[in-house]
Amino acid sequence: MIITRPRDWSRIIENLESIGARRVFLMGCGQCATVAHTGGEPELRETAERLGEAGYEVTGWTVGEVTCHLNGTKLERRKHQEAIDAADAVLVLACGAGVQTTADAIAKPVFPGLESLFLGTVIRNGVFEERCQTCGDCVLDKTAGICPVTTCPKGLLNGPCGGMWNGMCEVLTDRECTHVRIRKRLAEQGRTGKGTLAPKDFSTALKPGAVNIRDRKDER
C-alpha cells in the first residue's frame, strides 16, 4: 500500500490562502490512507474541526472507496455535487495519485493534505516499512522475496557492502543487512544462492508508467 503522512498544516493553510479559499470540501480515501490513519473518517473529522477553528467553512466531506479510481471519484463528486459546488477548494487526504485523480474529476482547485512517502508493508497497526520502488524489473525471484533495491539503504543488488558488520547493516545499525537476510533465507529454503544479479535495466522504470490491458500496445 501507499504510505502517507499528514502534510505540514502551515502548507495546507498557505495553499488555501493562496486562492483566498474560505469554504473547503474534504476528500479522504477508503484504502491506503484509511489503513495508514491519515485519510479515513476520523482524520477527516479532525481536519474539518481544525479548519473550522481556523475560520474556514467545511461544506462537506467524503471518504472515497478508492480515491485513485477515476470513475469512483467521479461518482463521489456526483454524490456530493452540492457541497463541492459550494466549496472554493478541495483538500484531499489521500496519496498523490488520489490527489491527481480528484483534480481530474473535480473542476475546482485541489490541494494535497498528505505527503506520499513510499510503497510499503503494514508490519502491524500503525507501523509501516518501505518494500518496493516499483522498478519494473523485479528480482524477488532470486532474492528469496527480499527487495535489495528498497531495503538495502544503498540499493545494492549484490552486497553486502564493506560496511556490514557481524551481519548488521552499517547504515541502519539496528537492522540485519539485507544481503545477509537474503542468503540466510535462501539457505533455509535449500536454495543454492542467487548468483550475481545483472545491473538493473532502469528503462523499465521510465516515468510516467502506463499499463493498458485493453490494448497491450500501449503498455510501457
CB 163, CB 171: distance < 8 Å: yes
Q: Which residue, 18 or 158, is less far from ligand SF4 as judged by CB?
A: 158
Q: Which residue, 9 or 202, is less far from ligand SF4 as judged by CB?
A: 202
Cα(110)–Cα(102) distance, integer angstroms: 7
Asked if 206 interacts with ligand SF4 (CB under 6 A), we say no
Question: Closest Cα partner for 111 from 86, 85, 84, 91?
Answer: 91
- The dihedrals phi and psi of 105, each to the nearest 5 degrees, come to -90, -25
CB 37, CB 43: distance < 8 Å: yes
Binding mask 133-172 for ligand SF4 (x = CB under 6 A): xxx--xxx------x-xx-xxx-x--xxx-xx----xxx-
Helix (H) or strand (E) holding 186: helix 178-188
Choices 13-21, 91-99, 105-113, 131-139 (CB under 6 A): range interacting with ligand SF4 = 131-139
Q: Which residue, 138 or 206, is less far from ligand SF4 as judged by CB?
A: 138
**Size of site (CB under 6 A) for ligand SF4:** 25
Instruction: Record the cell numbers describing residue 140, joined without a space.
Output: 524477488
Residues that bind ligand SF4 (CB under 6 A): 132-135, 138-140, 147, 149-150, 152-154, 156, 159-161, 163-164, 169-171, 177-179
